[in-house]
Amino acid sequence: MMNRWVTKRLMCLLIVFYCTLFSFNVLAQYEKDSPRAGEGISSFLLRNRRPGRTYYQEFIELNKERFQGKEELRLGVKYILPPLRNNRKSTQSERKKSRGKRVVRKESYYEPLFGKSLASVKVTSRRLEGACFYVVGGHGGPDPGAIGKVGNIELHEDEYAYDVILRLARDLMQEGAEVHIIIQDAKDGIRDDRYLSNSKRETCMGSSIPLNQVERLRQRCVKINELYCKDRKKYKYCRSIFLHVDSRGKRNQTDVFFYYSKTKPDSKRLATTMKNTFEAKYDKHQPNRGFSGTVSSRNLYVLANTTPSAVFVELGNIRNAFDQRRLVINTNRQALANWLMEGFIKDYKNSTSQ
């Protein structure tokens, strides 16, 4: 009896030993590599010729003990790479996917237009991954747009629209979106001043902005359409936003209002979603105030001549003292950007769920 028990025990130990040895040998056969500074998992795998969701999931499984609860790479750590698949069909399948609307996941962006302190943008959410935006501040260059006054200080439409559009672009990037800033000022960056300095430096992505109104509008439409022609192959959701500030009588207080193209159903849905988002925000933060912003169709040049669906937004009346507070207080400009971003997130979800 004793000899039989000893024999069984030895057999169990041998089995455990060989299994452990086999597992060690299998793991030893895997390739390993350490990430470079700034690399996320997707870019790390892409550099190691392992793109795509299948490799990503295998990588997570192989290295789950190395993540310490977070799927983030650490410098100096060697990670196990999934075995390369030699099957030709599998490789062709991955290539087809990469040619389609499959976007390499970004972990961060660097955009000097935001200013030195805000140029580095860390992606903190993936709610807009797979989306692409063309953000346009109204007027610019030789055309300041509408002009309001606070005492002897002039408020120029193009400066305030540009500051909000930069803040919106940064918000969208933090959500994982691809963003094209169409009207640019290489010097300004995001500013927290009440009274933004006026200039004529703005360009259309590096090109001088014409003085002639039709040429000016045509220039930005052509740029958007050129970008969209390439982006539509990579992104499942592409939208434009044109941001302006209206000019009416000084006593005419207005809320943010939205225009859409009547020839594009997606444009109307986006404008309506934006308006509903603002209404909900006012109900929450100023419950007794109410919101009177409107949504309507309008045959504006930029809405009619850009291919991706768009929304045209007026932030208020630059001549009205109450509306001016929405513009000159930097936290209000940031709130406008945040709410526009949330409108995009809701519309993106509605679009992709259909």
- Which residue has 């992709």 as its token pair? 352
Q: Which two tokens stand for residue 316?
A: 């208020």
How many other C-beta atoms lie within 10 A of the C-beta of residue 214? 9
pLDDT (tens digit, 9 = 90+) per residue, 109-120? 999 999 999 999
CA atoms of 330 and 336, how far apart (whole Å):
10
Residue type, 41: I
pLDDT (tens digit, 9 = 90+) per residue, 319-342? 999 999 999 999 999 999 999 999
Q: Which two tokens stand for residue 79?
A: 């990670």
Q: Identify the three-state secondary structure at position 18.
A: helix
Q: What is the pTM of this model?
A: 0.73
What DSSP line would sit under 159-202, residue for residue?
Answer: HHHHHHHHHHHHHHHHTT-EEEE-EE-TTT-S---SSPPP-S--
Tally of CA atoms within 13 A in the half-sphere of 347 that contains its CB: 30
CA atoms of 340 and 179, how far apart (whole Å):
14
DSSP class of residue 64 equals G
Please, what are the domains in the chain? 31-99 (no CATH), 109-353 (3.40.630.40)
pLDDT (tens digit, 9 = 90+) per residue, 111-162? 999 999 999 999 999 999 999 999 999 999 999 999 999 999 999 999 999 9
Q: Of 228, 234, 232, which is closest to residue 104 (Cα–Cα)?
A: 234
Taking residues 241-261, what's their average pLDDT?
97
| 13 pLDDT higher than 70 | no
More confident call, 222 vs 40? 222
Q: Across all residues in the chain, what is the average pLDDT? A: 87
